Amino acid sequence: MNTPDYAGLERLLRERNGIDWVMVANVIDDATAYGLPGTEENAIDYIVGLHEQGKIRVGTYVHGTREGFIPWEEPIPDLPARLRAALVPTDPEDPLGPVMTVMFTFIDEAPPAA
């Protein structure tokens, strides 16, 4: 098994964020390439860690709004619980909807490239 490369995953997610907001689905999909489990729970832990470091704002994409990405109001008292609740599928026709609409954006400057 690969050694977890959190910095590598962060670099990739920052690259993605240069184009669009980063979906929870991106974290799940990209994690395995960096030696991390590609699970929803691991994605939650990773997102919470970035948030605790002051690197990201978490929110939801709302289709049809001018802004698109709507950040959740800060402070977020229990971010892990809020993420778990937001990621519960509510539409049987779209079970992947939540991992595609719960997103984050980096708010700090990128660290120097390795």
Q: Write out pLDDT tens, residues 1-37.
A: 457 899 999 999 999 999 999 999 999 999 998 999 9
Does residue 86 belong to any structural domain of this protein?
yes
Does residue 112 belong to any structural domain of this protein?
no
Output the pLDDT for position 112.
65
Does residue 113 belong to any structural domain of this protein?
no
Domains in the chain, number? 1
Output the pLDDT for position 114.
60
Residue 110 has pLDDT above 80, yes or no: no
Does residue 47 belong to any structural domain of this protein?
yes
Q: How many helices (H) and strands (E) does the chain have?
A: 5, 4
Q: How far apart are CA 86 and CA 72, in angstroms?
A: 11
Does residue 58 belong to any structural domain of this protein?
yes
Whole domain around residue 32: which residue ranges?
6-106
